[in-house]
Chains A and B, each alone.
Chain A
Amino acid sequence: MKNLNSKVPKGPLADKWTTHKSNINLVSPANKRLIDIIVVGTGLAGASASATLAELGYNVKAFCFQDSPRRAHSIAAQGGINAAKNYQGDGDSTYRLFYDTIKGGDYRSREANVYRLAEVSSNIIDQCVAQGVPFARDYGGLLDNRSFGGVLVSRTFYAKGQTGQQLLLGAYSAMNRQIGRGKIKMYNRHEMMDIVIVDGKARGIISRNLINGNLERHSAHAIVIASGGYGNVFFLSTNAMGSNVSAGWKIHKKGAYFANPCFTQIHPTCIPVSGDHQSKLTLMSESLRNDGRIWVPKNIEDAKAIREGKLIPTEIIEKDRDYYLERRYPAFGNLVPRDVASRAAKERCDAGFGVNKTGEAVYLDFSSAIERYGKEEANVKGLDQNDSSLIKQLGQEVIKSKYGNLFQMYEKIIDQNPYETPMMIYPAVHYTMGGIWVDYNLMTSIPGCYCIGEANFSDHGANRLGASALMQGLADGYFVLPYTIGDYLSGDIRTGRISTETSEFKNAEENIKNQLEKLINNKGKNSVDYFHKKLGNVMWNKCGMSRNEKDLKEAIFEIIKLRQDFHKNINVPGTLDEFNEQLAKAMRVADFLELGELFAKDALARAESCGGHFREEFQTKEGEALRNDKSFNFVSVWEYKGKPSDANLIKERLHYEEIEVKTRSYK
């Protein structure tokens, strides 16, 4: 077994990052000009890293498969970004953000990384405001905050329901400045096909131009993978259609360890599935749980009548409604963390209380908030507080100003007016906490290969809190990687330009060419989507919101079979040298079919429930997750050994110095 060194610096937790920054090696400005860095992916993590590295003076080559860096899926993040600014004076602090994140992650994340994340969080807000990100403000001109799940303070900064968009456009604008100056060379519509390792170090990639199919060799002194999460292994998720695991999976196969692959976040508030044609799922921001109350009918007959279209929700009187989150978790109510809210919804629907045709939906109701805001407004404006239609109108205006775009999106998709009737929601795959294993410096187990943002595993443990993904992406890209990468690159100042005319590059390119040719020449009978949907079904039914030993063993068996079937019967139309989306997708699905197996294997090995990983065998009498700290207080780190079933498990033990490990309770 190879050595697993997380390289967490010594010293008190609060001083680790400052001390580490003062002690690591630097690269002089003159030498930075001689060093090339490749960044794969241009979401929040990749865009912020590319811009910052270029500002520092490195030569950056950035790659994205979309037609512009601005289209990376960070753009779709809605609700907000956390920062321990304590602008609201409600008792927030770096420690509290750190504590909430560790607790929210169910004590399965690395303490030092999480503390650093909390520490740099306020710099992110300063940086973004300086860049011109138009965060929401109050009438005094200062920044506004809102509250998110799993915490008791208001620390979330937001830009209506488009926070991810505004933050990504901020990072993209910083990139544009460097592209204009020639410090970043941008490769749009390019996909990374493999990493090239020379003398044990990451030295380049093979990319494919998606317009003409050309394979290209690119060399660099370090490679940064910022390719996002792998939720699309489930076929249906809130990820973008193109989101994929391939960059991460390719480096895994070349020596980067994959950590906690089974830790997946199922988001509680998504628009329910409408039919077999469904291509993806749409998220409704968690911020809606600030004002929306979640319920199902108390009586099973009412639920049945609703499903049959004989009853409408507004006809059910207050005492016949079961606000199950408020009932089960009085302290946090509708703002419990995502894993808890999702499981509670599944529990009610499995028990027969679901409220749409498929029985897989619960209500998210804004009527109390509309009334509350309406009365407040009437009071401020000195209007009649007993005029119920006026109150409703005033209240709806307030809700519109807060969540207008989300309500509009819901109406377009479901064709119902959520101001008048409660929204229907159901959990869906949203985010993957697991990912490539990295040390404290965000370097993978391949020297010179880094991994940042959702693609790595480091900060969210077994469950991520709302508004923390944006925080992590930007923390990694703006404030962590640009420091730590210098320490490694300081050893490379005499290396000079790396040639792409070596056998390593040639072999890697040849290998990819063969894989592509095999796919296109196979001419089998089933399309890429046929296999992707089948894989998604297995994953959702057997590795989804709740898991058990029997299902997981079956899943592994079925995925192996499906993978064999894929390589025998896949049909990829078109040619190699044209714009061919099916071909690009086939390569990605081939990787999902391998990752899926490791995912199930990891879920099987973790015989405990924690965060988003719920094993039915391990629960309390009340149906809450039962963690086993004695046996499973570790990160599951998988080493590739030729195929997923042979992957070797390495354990990174988790130590908590500044935090008492407790049973997570939101009651």
Chain B
Amino acid sequence: MKLTLKIWRQANSKVKGKLFEYSISDVSPDMSFLEMMDVLNEELIQKGDDPIAFDHDCREGICGMCSMFINGQAHGPDRLVTTCQLHMRKFKDGDTITIEPFRANAFPVIKDLVVDRSSFERIQQAGGFISINTSGNTQDANSIPIEKNDADDAFDAATCIGCGACVASCKNASAMLFVSAKVSQYALLPQGKVEATNRVLNMVKQMDEEGFGNCTNTGACEVECPKGISLENIARMNREYLGASIKSK
């Protein structure tokens, strides 16, 4: 396949960026999107140009490091995959592909397609945990039976990879899907109930401070989420938040 790529180039967070056009040929449909980018970068290096910076690591769709806004969609046109698992067979010979970074005020660009998602880190640090020390003396794992449905729902929420596609897809750049996934996981488990009130209040507070937008329930986040995290989690977080606001002193 022969493709035209329009790629966002930006040297760092302080300067302005713009789209540059590149063409690439001999793209195999079996290549992953990032392998296509590797080929382009090798060509750029050979020509003495600066290769395009993009985040990636595990390349099997689980680390959440890769991003890219491809043709107006986070992680590209395929559903339930990250960019690293997107394959070139989803494109046609002669296509023009526009590649941009995940855009949000809370995700400043570091270089080209690489953004700073440390705002997600700070939200987790505000309450995304159960306060329990390592001791080796916690109770036996089977002394807390958990209803299978709750365990499965908690697991589904916990599969969020923290990539930020929800934020990039949202017209308000809201982080509600991400935050609600973590809140839900713990809210559904008995171990997490003890500090549920503080958790939701603290995490939402931090989310607001980071400059993420509000949720207007358009649901774009759920559609673009590579892990299929459900909007139900947002509803659950809203319920938790309301309850916690009433209860808190």
**A interface residue numbers (CB < 8 A to B):** 48, 51-52, 55, 66-68, 70-73, 75-76, 85, 87, 120, 123, 125-132, 134-143, 159-160, 162, 165-166, 169, 172-174, 176-177, 179-180, 186, 188, 211, 238, 240-242, 274-275, 277-280, 282-283, 408-409, 412-413, 415, 478-479, 482, 527, 529, 571, 573-574, 578-579, 581-582
Q: Determine if B148 and A179 form an interchain contact, defined as CB atoms under 8 angstroms apart.
A: no
A76/B32 in contact, CB under 8 A: no
B248 within 8 A of A: no
Instruction: Write the nearest CB–CB distance from A583 to chain B, whole angstroms.
Output: 11
- Given contacts A143-B142, A240-B63, list 9 more A-B pairs with CB under 8 A: A70-B63, A130-B132, A131-B130, A132-B192, A173-B128, A173-B129, A177-B131, A578-B11, A578-B111
For residue B172, CB closer than 8 A to chain A, the reply is: no
B136 nearest CB across to chain A (Å): 4
Asked if B141 and A126 sit within 8 Å, CB to CB, the answer is yes
B57 close to A132 (CB less than 8 A): no
A127-B138, A134-B155, A141-B146 as given contacts; A279 in contact with B34, CB under 8 Å = yes
B185 and A134 contacting across the interface, CB-CB below 8 Å: yes
Return chain B residues, CB-CB under 8 Å to A179: 121, 125
Min CB distance, A531 to chain B, in Å? 12
A163 to chain B: closest CB distance in Å? 11
Give the residues in chain B near A186, CB-CB below 8 Å. 121
Known: A131-B130, A176-B129. A578 touches B12 (CB 8 A): yes
Complex contact B185–A132 (CB within 8 A): yes
A527 cross-chain contacts in B, Cβ below 8 A:
42, 45-46
| B residues less than 8 Å from A573 (CB atoms) | 44-45, 48-51
Residue in chain A with minimal CB distance to B151: A137
Knowing A142-B142, A482-B134, say if A174 contacts B64 (CB, 8 Å).
no
Q: Which of these, A66, A125, A134, A412, contacts B78 with CB under 8 Å?
A: A412
Asked if B144 is at the interface of the complex by the 8 Å CB criterion, the answer is yes
B50 touches A574 (CB 8 A): yes
Distance of A126 from chain B, by nearest CB (Å): 5
Q: Flag whether B117 is at the interface (Cβ < 8 A).
A: yes
Interface contact B35-A279, CB-CB below 8 Å: yes
Known: A123-B136, A415-B89. A129 touches B191 (CB 8 A): yes
In whole angstroms, how far apart are the Cα atoms of A247 and B18 in the complex? 37
| Minimum CB–CB distance for B116 against chain A, Å | 7
Whether the Cβ atoms of A134 and B134 lie closer than 8 Å is: no
Complex interface: chain B residues within 8 A of A165 (CB): 62, 159, 161
Provide the residues of chain B in CB contact with A174, threshold 8 Å. Answer: 129, 132, 134
| CA–CA, A75 and B65, complex, Å | 11
Please measure, in the bound complex, the distance between the C-alpha atom of A500 and the C-alpha atom of B186, giving whole angstroms. 42
Identify B191's interface contact among A132, A139, A283, A413, CB under 8 A: A132
CA distance A72 to B65 in the complex (A): 10
- Please list 28 pairs of residues, one from A and one from B, whose beta carbons are closer than 8 Å in the complex, sorted by A's number: A66-B63, A66-B65, A68-B64, A68-B118, A71-B57, A73-B57, A75-B63, A75-B64, A76-B58, A126-B141, A129-B191, A130-B139, A132-B185, A132-B192, A134-B151, A134-B155, A137-B146, A137-B148, A137-B151, A176-B129, A240-B58, A277-B38, A277-B39, A279-B32, A412-B87, A415-B87, A573-B48, A573-B50
Assembly CA distance A131 to B154 (angstroms): 13
Question: What's the minimum C-beta distance from A85 to chain B, rounded to whole angstroms?
Answer: 7
With a cutoff of 8 Å between Cβ atoms, the chain B residues found around residue A162 in the complex are: 62, 159
Q: How far is the CA of A162 from the CA of B155 in the complex (A)?
A: 10
Which B residues touch A279, using CB under 8 A? 32, 34-35, 38, 59
Could you give, for residues 46-90 of chain B, a 1 whenever the CB lies within 8 Å of some chain A CB and a 0 otherwise?
A: 101111010111111111110000000000001011000101010
Closest to A212 in B: B12
Interface size on B, residues (CB 8 A): 79
Interface residues, chain B, CB within 8 Å of chain A? 11-12, 28, 30-32, 34-36, 38-39, 42, 44-46, 48-51, 53, 55-65, 78, 80-81, 85, 87, 89, 110-111, 114, 116-118, 120-121, 124-126, 128-136, 138-142, 144-148, 151, 154-155, 158-159, 161-162, 185-186, 189, 191-192
Tell me which residues across on chain A come within 8 A of B162, comparing CB atoms.
68, 70
- Given A137-B146, A581-B53; A125-B141 close (CB under 8 Å): yes
Interchain CA distance A279-B49 in the complex, whole Å: 21
Given A141-B146, A141-B148, are A66 and B60 also a contact pair (CB < 8 Å)? no
Flag if B65 contacts A67 (CB, 8 Å): yes
Q: Is the CB of A408 within 8 A of B80?
A: yes
Max count, chain A CB within 10 A of own CB: residue among B31, B59, B185:
B59
- Please tell me if the beta carbons of B189 and A134 are within 8 angstroms of each other in the complex: yes
Contacts of B191 in A (CB 8 A): 129-132
B158 touches A166 (CB 8 A): yes
With A and B bound together, what is the CA distance between A504 and B99 in angstroms?
46
By a CB distance below 8 angstroms, the chain A residues around B45 are 527, 571, 573, 582
Q: Are B138 and A126 in contact (CB under 8 A)?
A: yes
* Distance (whole angstroms) from the CB of B27 to the closest CB of chain A: 9
Contacts of B128 in A (CB 8 A): 173, 176
Which residues of the other chain, B, contact A128 by a CB distance below 8 angstroms? 141
Given A129-B144, A242-B57, verify A173-B138 contact (CB < 8 Å). no
Q: Across the interface, do A126 and B140 meet the contact criterion of CB distance under 8 Å? A: yes
Query: Is the beta-carbon distance between B58 and A73 smaller than 8 angstroms?
Result: yes
| CB pair B124 A166 closer than 8 Å | no
**Nearest opposing residue in chain A for B138, CB measure:** A130
Chain A residues whose C-beta falls within 8 Å of the C-beta of B32 in the assembled complex: 279, 413
Q: Which residues of A contact B151 (CB under 8 A)?
A: 134-137, 141
Q: How far is the CA of A275 from the CA of B46 in the complex (A)?
A: 21
Nearest-neighbor residue (CB-CB) of B140 within chain A:
A126
Contacts of B147 in A (CB 8 A): 141
| A160–B144 alpha-carbon span in the complex (Å) | 20
The 3 closest A-B pairs by CB, nearest first: A141-B145, A173-B129, A134-B155
Q: How far apart are A498's CB and chain B's nearest CB, in angstroms?
A: 26
Q: Are A66 and B146 interface neighbours, CB within 8 A?
A: no
Q: Which of A55, A186, A278, A280 has the most chain B CB atoms closer than 10 A to its own CB? A: A280
Question: A188: nearest residue on chain B (CB-CB)?
Answer: B118
